[in-house]
Amino acid sequence: MSDETLHNDARRRFLGGLAAMSGLALAPGVTLISPARAEGASSDVRWGMLIDINKCQSDCDNCIGACAAENGLKSHGRPTTDPQWIRKVSVKDPSSGNEKSLPVMCQHCANPPCADVCPTGASFKRADGVVLVDRHICIGCRYCMMACPYKARSFVHEDIKGQKPHMPRGKGTVESCTLCVHRIDEGRLPACVESCETGAMVFGDLNDPNSGISQAVAKYGATRIRADLGLDPGVMYQGI
């Protein structure tokens, strides 16, 4: 939808008030997220995630299990074609021998190449920075899968049954991490963040300087994977 319709002052003022009323206080001065329901996604907000890989355990895959449970991802027993929204990637520095394991999912780029190449407009970025696939108009061409440098998207090869009511999925379309958009619209955390026992994943509004994520980024800094591509991902890492 056009940015003009989303950028009007009355709406901003309303959202400001809404945030003040309904912001979830985690700790003094740290607000988490404010639900955006009737008003919809606002460009005043940019959702992001900060992952501290020093806290991420190499033998833990809670986030992957939580993602699968939340979004109804089931294996067909064929790993090469099973959809994969989030995965653990192991990296090793050959000179020091330092090994790390990090979860990688859709990086929710500010300049998403998937949306650039999509011939139907099915790949798009919501006003609050969440990159999604509109599967009503996705034709399954998979250009976006080739364009994505993070290998974040999957094609659904097989018929799916037993979908979750909040996460419609179907054969012949491309899908990826939605940042649990159905949850964040309700003011809840994405399933992976909620499942992380070590607190390695922090979710929040990058546009709000008082949010936990912004403060952590300001204090400790953060790395983006393939920052050289200039895609400005909303998912950031510490300790790479």
Partner 1 sequence: MARFGFILILTGFLMTALGSLPAVADGVPVPTLAKPLGEQCVEPKDFMRRNHMDLLKHQRDETMREGIRGKKYSWKGCVECHAATHPKIAEGKIRTLYPFCAQCHHYAAVKIDCVSCHSPVAQGNEPMKFSTMEEEEAQKLLSMMKGHLGEEASQ
Which part of the chain contacts partner 1 (CB under 8 A), choosing from 8-16, 100-108, 158-166, 222-230? 158-166
CB 208 within 8 A of CB 219: no
Maximal C-alpha separation, the chain: 56
Q: How far is CA 180 from CA 68, 72, 110, 221, in A?
A: 11, 12, 17, 25
Task: Specify the DSSP class assigned to residue 82.
Answer: S
Which residue in 24, 69, 89, 146 binds partner 1 (CB under 8 A)? Answer: 69
CB 80 within 8 A of CB 218: no
Query: What is the Cα 130 distance to its own chain's centre?
Result: 6
Which part of the chain contacts partner 1 (CB under 8 A), choosing from 7-15, 100-108, 144-152, 186-194? 186-194
Looking up tokens 């994505």, which residue turns up?
148
Q: How far apart are CA 171 and CA 155, in angstroms?
A: 8
The contact pattern for partner 1, residues 115-154, with x = CB under 8 A and - = no contact, is ---------x-xxx---x-xxx------------------
Structure tokens at 24: 């979830």
Site for partner 1 in 192-231 (CB under 8 A): 194-195, 197
| 93 near partner 1 (CB under 8 A) | no
| 65 near partner 1 (CB under 8 A) | yes
| 76 near partner 1 (CB under 8 A) | no
Which part of the chain contacts partner 1 (CB under 8 A), choosing from 63-71, 97-105, 145-153, 230-238? 63-71
Structure tokens at 163: 């979908």
DSSP class per residue in 29-74: TEE-----SSS---TT--EEEEEETTT--TT--HHHHHHHHHHT--
Which residue in 18, 110, 141, 160 binds partner 1 (CB under 8 A)? Answer: 160
The contact pattern for partner 1, residues 23-62, with x = CB under 8 A and - = no contact, is -------------xxxxxx---------------------
**Shortest CB 71 distance to partner 1, Å:** 10
Number of residues interacting with partner 1: please give it, by CB under 8 A.
40
Looking up tokens 């355990």, which residue turns up?
57
Which positions touch partner 1 (CB under 8 A)? 1, 6, 36-41, 65-66, 68-70, 72, 74, 124, 126-128, 132, 134-136, 159-160, 162-165, 168-171, 181, 185-186, 191, 194-195, 197
